A and B are shown apart, each in its own frame.
Chain A
Amino acid sequence: MRAALVLLLAAASPAAGQVTPFTVAGDAIEAPLAGRAGDAARGEAVVKNRESANCLICHSIPDAREAFMGEIGPPLAGVGARLTPGQIRLRLVDPTLVNPGAIMPPYHRIHDLVRVDPRFAGRPVLSAQEIEDVVAWLATLRE
């Protein structure tokens, strides 16, 4: 029901081409977005990029070379053991699908957002390929 609504809204949006439709099963999106294969090395770069996703403003990763990591979200060490790739994918795409009050931003959603800066309007924070890259890297963080 909720997934169907998401699909409908995404399809109705003028910039629908920028987000990829997906199907939610339980608390996961099992199928890779747009059928893309994720690249873990590229995903690691996305996670560490301080301009785009800026994951480390809130999360820490097991990497002693990174200074000043945030402590708002859970540490990402072991996330690949705690969650399946499908569960990680859903939480990246739109964590409010699991928890409506989630503080974590939706990284692949453009509908139902308020007062978006025109420079960012109509496009998701991360592309389908970037989501798949991040899923691939996070899945390797098993301890």
Chain B
Amino acid sequence: MIRRAAAAAALLACGVAAASELRPARDFLSPELRAQQDDPSRHPGWLWVEEGEALWQRGERSCQSCHGGIATMAGVATRYPAVAPDGALLNLEGRIERCRTQQQGAAAFGYESDALLSLTAAVAQRSRGLPMSVATDGAAAPFVEEGRRFYEARQGQLNLACGQCHDDNAGRRLRGDVISNGLGTGYPAYRLDWNTLGSLHRRLRACSLGVRATQLPLGAPEYLSLELFLAARAAGLPVEAPGLRR
């Protein structure tokens, strides 16, 4: 056990854990749920995608008026979170909100609003199946490190680090659920548990609560850095958004 932990630590010291050890989120779904995730006609997340595609074209200063059709967003989600020229780490939600407030002169939608979830899902869906490839060097490097430290820290009253479940025990059952590798590639995702589409940060808040750690606000810097680390960890694995989860 100790030797295994040491080996894992040595691996991590060499860089972000290789994607070859990690399995796509879909591999951990039941066959029924996996089939449903692949079938837009049976996947309620597509309601948000359709709404997002409508929003993309709506208004005088629409997304489309600058970017063109939403098809131009292919591949974009594989590169987020990313560091903006002003040094801020932005995930897809943050990037969209910035466009709203700075380019479109509109009020921010607000995290977890249906409008922001819809646009995020519509943009992310255009990268479905494409391999994750966030930048981890240059300005992104310190954020990746911060995210890694958060991921590796035992926390909460239950004293658990993310990797103790998502690396060391992936594939095993926690009650009735199979533990996945903890990738964020399916978010925003429709969770049957939520009965709605939700962001990765909403899911991370549930993780925090699960180990009885302080739940951080949606969009918190810690969750943003963690999101980047998770994306770096998932390098080469396919975007699955909008995902379908239990």
Which residues of A are at the interface with B, using a C-beta cutoff of 8 A? 56-58, 67-72, 96, 99-101, 103, 105-106, 113-121, 125
Contact = CB atoms under 8 A, between A and B. Distances in A.
B176 interface: yes
Interface in B133-157: 153-157
Given A115-B153, A115-B155, 5 more contacts: A96-B159, A114-B153, A115-B214, A116-B214, A117-B214
A105 B2 CA distance: 17
Contacts of B172: 70-72
B227 to A, nearest CB: 17
Contacts of B168: 103
B158 A105 contact: yes
Given A99-B2, A101-B5, A118 B214 contact: yes
The 8 A-B residue pairs with the shortest CB-CB distance, nearest first, are: A68-B176, A105-B158, A120-B157, A101-B5, A114-B155, A103-B164, A115-B155, A120-B212
B66 interface: no
Nearest to B177: A68
B115 interface: no
B173 A115 contact: no
Interface of B: 1-2, 5, 153-160, 164-165, 168-169, 172-176, 179, 208-209, 212-215
Secondary structure of the B contact surface, majority rule: loop
A6 B28 CA distance: 40
8 contacts: A57-B175, A58-B174, A99-B1, A101-B5, A106-B159, A115-B155, A116-B156, A119-B212
Nearest to A110: B157
Contact of A117 (B1, B174, B215): B215
Contact of A105 (B157, B179, B208): B157
Contacts of B164: 103
Given A70-B175, A72-B169, A103-B169, A117 B157 contact: yes
Considering residues A67, A71, A121, which has the most beta carbons from chain B within 10 angstroms of its beta carbon? Answer: A71
B173 A71 contact: yes
Contact of B213 (A69, A101, A115): A115
Nearest to A122: B157
A65 to B, nearest CB: 15
A94 B122 CA distance: 47
Given A116-B213, A117-B213, A118-B214, A105 B160 contact: yes
A117 B175 contact: no
Considering residues B155, B168, B173, B175, which has the most beta carbons from chain A within 10 angstroms of its beta carbon? Answer: B175
Considering residues B1, B154, B158, B164, which has the most beta carbons from chain A within 10 angstroms of its beta carbon? Answer: B158
